[in-house]
C-alpha cells in the first residue's frame, strides 16, 4: 500500500527536507502541500529543485475537501500547526507533527480527539534518534544526579524558547529526580535572566545564534564529578529517519503519542 501524504510548510527548512524524503520513498506518495502562500501553484513552481507538479493549497478546508490522504505532516509554527493538526484529525488524517511549541493543554486536547476518533498521531519535539537517546540517558542519570542544568542551542530563526526538546527532557528528568532547588540559597542575578529559565529547580538556558541547527547539553553535577550528555543535529536530514518511522507507525496506532521514544 502507498501512503498518501500531505506536507504543511513545504518551503521551510524542515518542510523541504520532508518533501524530499517523501518523494524519495517508494512506499510514500506526496499528494499535496499546505503553504501560507502560492495557492493554485505546483511544487515545481515554488521549489525549483523538484520536478513534481504536486498541488499547493493555502486554504485548509479546500485542501481536505479536494485531497484524499492518510498522513498529514506539519512542520510550521506553533499557532498554525495546532490548527492544522486539529483539522487533520477532524478530517480523518493521521498527523505526524514536528512543529514545536504546542502547550500542554493543546496536546491534551489533541490526545482526546485522536482517542475518540481512534486515529494514530505522533507529536515529537525531536525526530532525531540520537536526541531521543540523549533524553532517555538524561532520565537515567537524573536518578543519581539531582543537580542538573540544560543548555539548548538553536539557529536564530527559532521563535519558541526553550525548545520542545528541552521541555521534554525536563519532564523526563522531573519524573525521576528528587525535587530540590539548585545553586546557592542566597544567589541573585546582577543581570535579569542570568540563571536562565527555571522549572522545579532545574535551570534551562536557550542560546540562539546563526550557524547553529539544534544542539543540547544536559549537565549533571555531583561530588567532584560532572556528567555531560550532549547531542548535535548538524543538518535537518538528522530528523528525517524519525519522521519516516513515524509515518509508518501512525498507520497502526489508534491514539496520539508524544515523543519518538514510544515508537522506537
Ligand atoms: P522554517 O524554515 O522557519 O519553516 C517554517 C515554515 O512554516 C515556513 O516555510 C513558513 O512559511 C511556514 N508557515 C508559517 N505559517 C504557515 C501557515 N499558515 N501555513 C503553512 N505554512 C506556514 O522553520 P524550520 O526550521 O523548518 O522548522 C519548522 C518547525 O519544525 C518549527 O516549529 C521547528 O521548531 C520545528 N522543528 C522540529 C524538529 C523536530 O525534530 N521535531 C526539528 C527541527 C525543527 P514562510 O516561509 O512563508 O514564513
pLDDT in tens, 130-146: 999 999 999 999 999 99
Do the Cβ atoms of 16 and 24 come closer than 8 Å? no
Which residues have CB under 6 Å of ligand 1?
Answer: 8-9, 11-15, 34-36, 75-77, 80, 98-100, 124-127, 157-158, 214, 239
Mean pLDDT for 72-100 is 97
Least confident of 31-35, 49-53, 164-168: 164-168
- The H or E element containing residue 240 is helix 240-252
CA of 85 to the centre of ligand 1 (A): 14
Answer whether residue 1 shows pLDDT above 90.
no
What does DSSP assign to residue 155?
Answer: -
Do the Cβ atoms of 8 and 26 come closer than 8 Å? no
The mean pLDDT value of the chain amounts to 96
CA of 174 to the centre of ligand 1 (A): 29
Answer whether residue 76 shows pLDDT above 90.
yes
Q: What is the pLDDT of residue 111?
A: 98
**Mutate which of 14, 154, 215 for ligand 1 pocket (most atoms within 8 A of beta carbon):** 14
Mean pLDDT for 191-205 is 95
CA of 144 to the centre of ligand 1 (A): 37
CA distance 4 to 170: 35
Going by pLDDT thresholds of 50, 70 and 90, the confidence category of residue 179 is confident
Q: What is the pLDDT of residue 264?
A: 87
Answer whether residue 181 shows pLDDT above 90.
no
- Ramachandran category for residue 72: left, alpha or beta (phi over 0 → left; psi -120 to 50 → alpha): beta
Answer whether residue 180 shows pLDDT above 90.
no
pLDDT in tens, 212-228: 999 999 999 999 999 99
Please tell me the residue having the least CA distance from ligand 1 atom 42. 126
Percent of the chain whose pLDDT exceeds 70: 100
Do the Cβ atoms of 121 and 114 come closer than 8 Å? yes
Rounded alpha-carbon distances, angstroms, from residue 264 to 80, 100, 166, 167: 28, 20, 19, 20
The pTM for the full model equals 0.87
Q: Which atom of ligand 1 is nearest the CA belonging to 17?
A: 26
Amino acid at each position: 500500500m502507498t501512503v498518501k501524504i500531505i506536507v504543511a510548510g513545504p518551503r521551510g527548512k524542515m518542510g523541504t527536507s520532508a518533501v524530499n524524503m517523501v518523494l524519495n520513498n517508494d512506499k510514500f506518495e506526496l499528494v499535496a502541500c499546505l503553504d501560507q502562500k502560492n495557492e493554485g501553484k505546483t511544487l515545481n513552481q515554488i521549489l525549483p529543485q523538484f520536478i513534481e507538479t504536486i498541488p499547493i493549497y493555502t486554504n485548509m478546508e479546500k485542501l481536505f475537501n479536494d485531497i484524499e490522504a492518510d498522513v498529514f505532516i506539519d512542520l510550521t509554527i506553533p499557532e498554525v500547526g495546532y490548527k492544522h493538526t486539529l483539522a487533520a484529525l477532524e478530517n480523518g488524517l493521521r498527523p505526524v507533527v514536528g512543529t514545536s511549541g504546542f502547550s500542554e493543554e493543546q496536546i491534551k486536547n489533541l490526545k482526546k480527539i485522536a482517542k475518540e476518533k481512534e486515529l494514530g498521531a505522533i507529536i515529537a519535539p525531536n525526530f532525531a534518534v540520537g536526541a531521543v537517546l540523549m533524553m532517555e540517558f538524561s532520565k537515567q542519570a537524573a536518578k543519581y544526579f539531582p543537580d542538573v542544568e540544560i543548555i539548548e542551542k538553536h539557529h536564530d530563526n527559532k521563535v519558541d524558547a526553550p525548545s520542545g526538546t528541552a521541555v521534554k527532557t525536563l519532564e523526563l528528568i522531573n519524573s525521576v529526580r528528587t525535587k530540590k532547588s539548585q545553586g546557592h540559597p542566597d544567589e541573585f542575578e546582577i543581570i535579569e535572566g542570568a540563571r536562565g529559565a527555571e522549572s522545579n529547580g532545574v535551570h534551562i538556558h536557550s542560546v540562539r545564534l546563526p550557524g547553529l541547527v539544534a544542539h543540547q547539553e544536559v549537565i549533571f553535577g555531583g561530588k567532584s564529578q560532572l556528567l555531560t550528555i550532549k547531542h548535535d543535529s548538524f543538518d535537518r536530514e538528522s530528523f528525517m529517519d524519525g519522521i519516516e518511522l513515524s509515518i509508518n507507525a501512525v498507520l497502526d496506532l489508534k491514539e496520539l503519542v508524544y515523543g519518538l521514544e514510544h515508537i522506537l
